[in-house]
Structures are given as structure tokens and as C-alpha cells.
């Protein structure tokens, strides 16, 4: 009975989604002719942080992580220490049968507040409880995300806490996470944004163990950290399009003419490495953006069986990849034992006029979030969001969305901008005009990704 209702509901949702898609596409045809030229150029310049070497790459095992003291709380004149988030309903599995049946989610220890959308909220300045760790404390951060080390003069971006409108988040608890994931494999699959979420999680968890150990990779595309005390591994796998593509080299993938593979089996080589993951978090978006809104796809022609390149509308190609991913997950993940997450589009901030800033500015020099609650940058394609909704809505496997797009839209202050390791020398012209090489795609650590993981923590244990 319950299932029948659920089925009806989901077909209703599907129907509504389809209807809004039709309305949306119709509207879009008339209104959205903006070019993505500037963004595409900027993306090409900065999308090179896929290979994520770690500091300990060159040799010795990472040493003990300093636990440090809470400097914010110790400062004179500071407000009283943060007393903890209001406790939400965390009742463990209730004993009556009805309740128990609803707890089908693996790893759940409690429940989120009913009807509360944790992705709908605002940023609150909180220099007492944020950040969760300092840049110096976490020795695992890739230099591409270390802003203080590369001269960022301000720290305000580290002190914002996400406050959902209808409830409060469970505070990230590293011990709890490691205890619940004892003997398990947590795997991030995607691009450098997923990679930075992976580093953030490593940092968040590192406070509860002596040190992470690098373990042998099963593929050049993998980065693996093991927490020996818990026999848990946290892994990242570079696959910016999920399917195979000509951007798969984990080190050298600055490819201008991007081609994704869409023939039968074009995900197999990657997905071979994803099997036996217990918790899987995947993302893909930034690499898809281009001026023409098209994607070149390698396909096999049905007549000759030859490989041919076909250009496709972006949303269509994205939809096909999502569908393939979902099918793989349905076949390889067990809803009773695994959890699957999808992190939505990470926004960029290349157009300051969109938030009412100067005409030619971008994220460079931004020190405050946006407080316009309806702000949405043009680089986050709602058409892609619709494709995601549809693909995950049709899946025969419970997916959990980590819908970071709106909350991250507000964070124009949180990008790495010019404060990161510059792998390619700067020209005199660039030096004179820092805005021209500002990275408004990636984000500093500690920073925004810690909140993405706090949401992951909430959805994993308090769904």
C-alpha cells in the first residue's frame, strides 16, 4: 500500500516536473540568449586542478595532525563560546513497526526535522564555531585550495555558518562519522569541485584520528586516504564527465576541444573502480559549460560500427550521461547497504554586474556573501538542474541530492580568486590586472565545501 502511494506520488512529481520543464524550455527560448563566452574562456584557463597531489605525495607518511586550540574563542573580548546547535529530533529507530519501516536508509542514526529543507537558508556570521579547522591544521589540503598560504589578506570567508530556515543542522561530528563508517569505503567521483569536497571531508575527519595514511591507488585517477583506526577509506576518483572523455588524464587535461564518449560501455573503464564503494558522492557540471551550449560526443555508428563524433545539445548529452550513471548505480549499489549522493552544480562568479556590482568585476576582492535571497547567477543552468531532477527522480534507487547550488550562489567571497598556487607563469599584463586571472570557479579551504560536507553528514545520518 505504502509503495503504491509512493509510486503514485512519484509519478505525480514526474508529471509536474515534466510540465514545468516544458514551460521552462519555452520561456528560455525567448529570454536566455546570453553568451557564456567570458565564462568559457575563464574556465579554460583554470580547469587544471584535476590531479590532486597531496603534500605527502613525495614520500613520508603524513605526520600527526595538530589539534590546535580554538583561537577565536580564546580571543579577548570575543563573544561567549558557541553553546552548540539546538538539538533536533535525533530519536533513534523508534520501536513501533510503522516507524521502523520508514528507516530504510543505510547508516541513518536519527531523523532530520520533518518538512525542513536544509538547503534553503541563509549565511550567518559566526566566528566562534566556524571554521571547523584552520588551513595550517589540515596538512592534506591541495595547494590549489590554500588561500591564506598564497596571500589572501582576509579571513571572513571562513566564518560563515549555514542556517536553514526551518531547522538547524546537526553539527559535523568526525568521531560519529568514522564510527558509523567503520570498515567502509567513501568515494567521491567527479571533477575538481568534487575533489575539493573530498579534501574538505579529509580535513574534517582528520581531527578525530592520529593521521591519514596514503594507500596504494587502484588507478592513476584515484587518490586514497585511509583512517587505520577505523579501517575506513576516503577516496576521490577523477572523472570530470563521469563517462570517458579526452579530459580524463588526471594531470594533463587542459583540452580545448572536449569530447565525451557516449557509446555502449563508455563508463566501464571508470566505473570498474567504483565497485564496492559503500558511500558514493558524485558530481559533474563545470566541464560541460561552453559558449555554444553543445557537446561533442564520440559514438559508434550503427551501420559500420565505426566511431563517429556527433555534436549534441548540451542538456541532451548531460541527460544521457546521467541516465547511464543511474543505470550503473541501480545495477551495482544495494539500497539497503549503500548510499548514493549527487552534488549539484557549483556556481561561478565571473559577472559582478549580476549581483549589482561593478560592470567588469568578478569574484576578485569580494569579501562578503550576497544577501539577496533570490540571487541566481546565469552560469548555473536551470535547464541542467531540471535534467538532474528528472534523471534522479526516475531512478529505482534512493538518491540523496546535496543541493549546494543556491547556498553557494550567495558565496561570491569564498572563491580562491588569485590566492592559490599558480601552475602556469603569469604575464606582466595579468599581474597588472589580477581580475583577469582570478579563479572564480574553485573555493578556498577551509570554506564553503565544509558546509557541503556538513549537509552530507546531515543527509547521511539524519535523513
Catalytic (active site) residue 439: yes
Residue of 11, 55, 175, 252 interacting with ligand NAG (CB under 6 A): 175
Complex with ligand NAG: residue 11 or 175, whichever CB lies closer: 175
Residue of 376, 398, 435, 436 interacting with ligand NAG (CB under 6 A): 376
Part in contact with ligand NAG (CB under 6 A); list of ranges 8-16, 86-94, 169-177, 285-293: 169-177
Part in contact with ligand NAG (CB under 6 A); list of ranges 70-78, 132-140, 244-252, 307-315: 70-78
Catalytic (active site) residue 192: yes
Complex with ligand NAG: residue 49 or 317, whichever CB lies closer: 317
The reply on whether position 20 binds ligand NAG by CB under 6 A is no
Evaluate the omega torsion of the peptide bond into residue 411 and state whether it is cis, within 30 degrees of 0.
no
Residue of 46, 72, 205, 448 interacting with ligand NAG (CB under 6 A): 72
Part in contact with ligand NAG (CB under 6 A); list of ranges 21-29, 178-186, 416-424, 427-435: 178-186
Three-state SS for the chain is: CHHHHHHHHHHHHHHHHHHHHHHHHHHHHHHCCCCCHHHHHHHHHHCCCCCCCCHHHHCCCCCCCCCCCCHHHHCCCCCCCCCCCCCCCCCCCCCCHHHHHHCCCCCCCCCCCCCCCCCCEEEEECCCCCCCCCCCCCCCCCHHHCCHHHCCCCCHHHCEEEEECCCCCCCCCHHHHHHHCCCCEEEEEECHHHHHHHHHHHHHHHCCCCCCEECCCCCCCEEEEEECCCCEEEEEEECCCCCCECCCCCCCCCCCCCEEECCCCCCHHHHCCCCCCCEEEECCCHHHCCCCCEEEEEEECCCCCCEEEEEEEHHHHHHHHHHHHHHHHHHHCCCCCCEEEEECCCCCCCCHHHHCCCCCCCCCCCCCCCCCCCCCCCCCCHHHHHHHHHHHHHCCCCEEEECCHHHHHCCCCCEEECCCCCCCCCCHHHHHCHHHHCEEEEECCCCHHHHHHHHHHHHHHCC
The reply on whether position 458 binds ligand NAG by CB under 6 A is no
Complex with ligand NAG: residue 113 or 390, whichever CB lies closer: 390
Give min distance, CB of 44 to ligand NAG, in A: 25
Binding mask 225-254 for ligand NAG (x = CB under 6 A): ------x-----------------------
Report the alpha-carbon distance of residue 200 to residue 194 in Å, rounded: 10
The reply on whether position 325 binds ligand NAG by CB under 6 A is no
Give min distance, CB of 327 to ligand NAG, in A: 19
Report the alpha-carbon distance of residue 291 to residue 42 in Å, rounded: 12
- β pairing state of 439-443 and 415-417: antiparallel
Complex with ligand NAG: residue 80 or 356, whichever CB lies closer: 356
Complex with ligand NAG: residue 10 or 427, whichever CB lies closer: 10
Give min distance, CB of 253 to ligand NAG, in A: 27
Report the alpha-carbon distance of residue 3 to residue 422 in Å, rounded: 54
Catalytic residue among 132, 168, 191, 192: 192
Residue with cell 553553546: 83
Residue of 37, 57, 91, 179 interacting with ligand NAG (CB under 6 A): 179
Residue of 80, 216, 305, 356 interacting with ligand NAG (CB under 6 A): 356
The reply on whether position 311 binds ligand NAG by CB under 6 A is no
Complex with ligand NAG: residue 293 or 378, whichever CB lies closer: 378
Catalytic (active site) residue 91: no
The reply on whether position 85 binds ligand NAG by CB under 6 A is no
Neighbouring residues of 114: CB distance < 8 A, sequence distance ≥ 6? none
Give min distance, CB of 78 to ligand NAG, in A: 4
The reply on whether position 127 binds ligand NAG by CB under 6 A is yes
Catalytic residue among 191, 278, 439, 450: 439
Give min distance, CB of 58 to ligand NAG, in A: 27
Give min distance, CB of 74 to ligand NAG, in A: 6
Give residues in contact with ligand NAG (CB under 6 A): 67, 69, 72, 75, 77-78, 119-120, 127, 173, 175-176, 179, 183, 185, 231, 344, 356, 372, 374-376, 385, 388-389, 401, 403, 405-406
Residues acting as catalytic residues: 192, 439, 442
Amino acid at each position: 500500500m505504502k509503495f503504491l502511494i509512493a509510486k503514485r506520488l512519484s509519478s505525480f512529481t514526474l508529471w509536474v516536473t515534466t510540465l514545468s520543464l516544458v514551460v521552462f524550455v519555452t520561456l528560455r527560448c525567448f529570454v536566455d540568449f546570453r553568451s557564456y563566452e567570458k565564462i568559457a574562456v575563464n574556465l579554460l584557463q583554470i580547469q587544471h586542478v584535476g590531479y590532486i597531489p597531496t603534500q605527502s605525495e613525495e614520500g613520508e607518511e603524513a605526520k600527526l595532525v595538530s589539534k590546535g586550540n580554538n583561537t577565536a574563542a580564546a580571543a579577548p573580548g570575543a563573544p561567549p563560546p558557541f553553546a552548540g546547535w539546538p538539538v533536533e529530533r535525533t530519536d533513534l529507530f523508534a520501536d513501533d513497526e510503522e516507524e521502523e519501516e520508514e528507516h530504510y536508509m543505510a547508516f541513518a542514526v536519527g531523523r532530520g526535522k520533518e518538512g525542513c529543507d536544509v538547503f534553503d537558508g541563509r549565511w550567518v556570521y559566526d566566528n566562534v564555531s566556524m571554521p571547523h579547522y584552520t588551513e595550517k591544521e589540515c596538512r592534506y589540503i591541495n595547494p590549489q585550495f590554500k588561500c591564506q598560504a598564497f596571500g589572501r589578506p582576509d579571513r571572513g570567508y571562513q566564518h560563515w555558518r549555514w542556517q536553514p530556515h526551518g531547522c538547524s543542522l546537526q553539527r559535523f561530528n568526525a568521531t560519529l562519522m568514522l564510527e558509523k563508517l567503520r570498515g567502509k569505503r567513501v568515494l567521491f567521483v567527479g571533477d575538481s569541485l568534487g575533489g575539493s569536497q573530498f579534501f574538505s571531508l579529509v580535513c574534517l575527519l582528520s581531527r578525530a584520528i592520529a593521521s591519514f595514511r596514503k594507500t596504494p591507488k587502484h588507478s592513476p585517477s584515484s587518490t586514497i586516504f585511509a583512517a587505520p583506526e577505523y579501517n575506513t577509506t576516503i577516496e576521490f576518483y577523477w572523472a570530470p564527465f563521469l563517462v570517458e572523455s579526452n579530459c580524463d588524464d588526471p594531470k594533463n587535461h587542459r583540452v580545448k576541444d572536449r569530447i565525451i564518449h557516449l557509446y555502449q560501455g563508455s563508463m566501464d573503464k571508470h566505473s570498474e573502480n567504483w565497485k564496492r564503494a559503500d558511500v558514493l558522492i558524485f558530481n559533474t557540471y563545470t566541464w560541460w559549460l561552453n559558449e555554444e551550449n553543445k557537446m561533442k560526443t564520440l559514438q559508434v555508428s550503427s551501420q559500420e560500427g565505426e566511431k563517429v563524433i556527433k555534436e549534441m545539445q548540451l542538456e541532451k548529452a548531460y541527460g544521457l550521461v546521467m541516465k547511464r550513471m543511474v543505470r550503473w548505480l541501480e545495477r551495482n549499489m544495494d539500497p539497503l547497504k549503500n548510499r548514493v549522493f549527487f552534488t549539484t552544480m557549483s556556481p561561478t562568479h565571473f559577472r559582478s554586474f549580476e549581483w549589482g556590482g561593478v560592470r567588469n568585476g568578478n569574484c576578485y576582492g569580494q569579501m562578503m556573501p550576497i544577501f539577496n535571497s533570490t540571487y541566481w547567477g546565469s552560469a548555473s543552468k536551470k535547464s541542467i538542474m531540471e535534467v538532474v531532477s528528472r534523471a534522479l527522480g526516475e531512478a529505482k534507487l534512493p538518491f540523496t541530492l546535496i543541493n549546494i547550488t543556491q547556498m553557494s550562489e550567495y558565496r561570491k567571497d569564498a572563491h580562491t580568486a588569485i590566492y592559490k598556487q599558480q601552475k602556469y607563469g603569469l604575464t606582466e599584463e595579468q599581474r597588472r590586472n589580477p581580475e583577469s586571472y582570478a579563479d572564480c570557479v574553485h573555493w578556498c579551504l577551509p570554506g564553503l565545501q565544509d558546509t557541503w560536507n556538513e549537509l552530507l553528514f546531515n543527509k547521511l545520518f539524519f535523513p
